[in-house]
Amino acid sequence: MARTDYVTLLERIRDKLSDDSHKEVARLELPTVDVMWEGQKTFLRNFAEFPKVLRREPDKILQYLAKEFAVPAERLGEKAMFAGKRDPDDFTRLFQIYLHDYVVCPTCQSPDTRVTKENRISFLVCEACGAKSTLKGKYA
């Protein structure tokens, strides 16, 4: 009887652990945007954190932001510089759209995806469910 309880307890712990780790995989927390203004320039001080979390090329993400803001942008080490003044919310909004358009699997919503190119067409391949979807944009 005691042994059964012990096994049940172990199973319960194991279930709980696998539940938690599953949630961890399915969720992606974007870093908080850290912005600094200097004259008519905006510096995204923690730019380098975003490509790491999103697992996409920093240059592509920079090009994406520059295109959406319609201003020149430049990478300066960990930072990125944008012409004009931008609010942190502007960056947050764009990163959320980028996440939706270029990272999250449309089939299962997992952010564990990678990009592959075939005949110059980019596909999003999901590491969670295996789905392969066409990417509409060119910033991945």
The footprint of Zn ion (CB under 5 A) covers 105, 107-108, 110, 126, 128-129, 131
Nearer to Zn ion, 53 or 108 (CB): 108
CB 50 within 8 A of CB 33: no
Tell me how far, at minimum, the Cβ of 43 lies from Zn ion, in Å. 35
Whole-angstrom CA distances from 135 to 31, 49, 126 are: 24, 23, 12
Tell me how far, at minimum, the Cβ of 52 lies from Zn ion, in Å. 21
Tell me how far, at minimum, the Cβ of 53 lies from Zn ion, in Å. 18
Nearer to Zn ion, 35 or 124 (CB): 124
* Rounded CA separation 123/137 (Å): 10
